[in-house]
Amino acid sequence: MKKRSAYNSIRVILFLLLPFILPAAVQGYEGILFTKVYEPNERAFSILVPKGWQSQGGIFRINALQVGGPLNAMEAKCDLLFKSDEAGRVAFHIYPDIIYAHVGIGGGLFPSGSNYQGAEVKQIMDAQTFLKALFTYYHPYASNITVLKLHRLPGEKQSIDQGLAYMNRLFVQMGLPQMTFQSDAAGAVVEYTENGIRYREVLTTGIVDMRAALTWKNTRTLSFRAPIESFDRWKAAMDVMRFSIRFNPDWVLQEAKGQRQRAEIVLKVYERIRQIDREIARKSSINREEIMNDNYLVLTGQEEYVNPHTGEIETDTDAFRFRWKTPQGDIYYTNREDEDPNVFLHYTGFKRTEIRKR
């Protein structure tokens, strides 16, 4: 009886001392868990999103009969917002590519603001001007606006140009005519107050001028925001999400309306664009100060990791010291060596991904 009483006393003491003798990481974790989810409307692509975030919107389609023509009805659009809570305090937004008609189209019979074959007739903007208009449209009640950075992104333009050039080479192989284009790309960093919260937001876009077709459009338009006090914690999330996008081959095949050859070409283009982005991120002389002065850029530094489950080489952000992955594709990032997500998040299957040996 005395032994049992002594044993229980020791258990009580150990329980009281547990918070002091266990490592700090056992009591909580500081990393970020990203889980793989699919675009909600048509499962068009998968993307890594912080665990517990909400989504709003997704793939949508424009009816040519309702908008007066086919120019914006020929391909699916995507307007997708991922947010940390209902108010969207931390949020990642993918904006749709919209085609516009050049002013002067139709011999001047279609003035600015009119509709030409389903596209608004609009004076072409450079990427910087487009970003300013985009911010104003989506934040009509923002106040105390401070533009920290606003200028061109030559690395992003290079990626757009190379992707379009690669598509042209595929067109030639198929005996189709090439397209002529000019492009521009820009990034902005803006601080503003909205609903009493002071935010920092990063925005990027590309502009493609399809002069021969008398049309132009925005492309690869994204934004990411967080309250200023928590921005540093979340600043790498934009790149994790952006570079994790993988298109669903079945969806692409359906989008190509059963023409397997077209679907394979689209998938090749998407894969080539990802390769171009990675190459530019690794090799470009553009440094991380291009649009931000706190060691962040839309094209972050990248590192090559070995997938512990498949052995494949994966390129990902180097913003975190440690990276863990499950066979299903969920990823946990942390800067603390003593954080094992299998323990803290009650998961099984996480293995640390090591950097590829040089």
> CA-CA distances (angstroms) from residue 109 to 32, 75, 209, 217, 220?
55, 27, 21, 21, 31
pLDDT of the residue at 38: 95
Mean pLDDT calculated for residue range 203-221: 92
User: Can you tell me whether residue 177 is helix, strand or coil?
Assistant: coil
Q: Does the pLDDT value for residue 282 go beyond 60?
A: no
pLDDT of the residue at 269: 63
pLDDT of the residue at 14: 39
pLDDT of the residue at 204: 93
Residues 6 or more apart from 32 whose CB is under 8 A from it?
A: 50, 233, 234, 237, 332, 333, 334
> CA-CA distances (angstroms) from residue 329 to 143, 265, 308, 353?
40, 25, 11, 12
DSSP assignment of 55-106: EEEEEE---HHHHTSSTTTSS-EEEEEEESSTT-SSEEEEPPP-EEEPTTGG
What's the mean per-residue pLDDT of the chain? 81
DSSP run (H or E) holding 207: strand 197-210
The amino acid at residue 255 is: E
Q: What is the pTM of this model?
A: 0.76
pLDDT single digits (tens) 92-142: 999 999 999 999 887 778 899 999 989 999 999 999 999 999 999 999 999
Residue 201 burial class via C-beta count within 10 angstroms: exposed 0-12, middle 13-18, buried 19 and up = buried
pLDDT of the residue at 142: 97
Question: Domain extents for the chain?
Answer: 19-355
Q: Does the pLDDT value for residue 27 go beyond 80?
A: no
Q: Does the pLDDT value for residue 358 go beyond 90?
A: no
3-state secondary structure labels for all residues of 345-358? CCCCCCEECEECCC
Mean pLDDT calculated for residue range 194-210: 95
pLDDT of the residue at 49: 96
DSSP run (H or E) holding 138: helix 127-138
User: Can you tell me whether residue 19 is helix, strand or coil?
Assistant: helix
Residues 6 or more apart from 181 whose CB is under 8 A from it?
A: 164, 208, 209, 210, 211
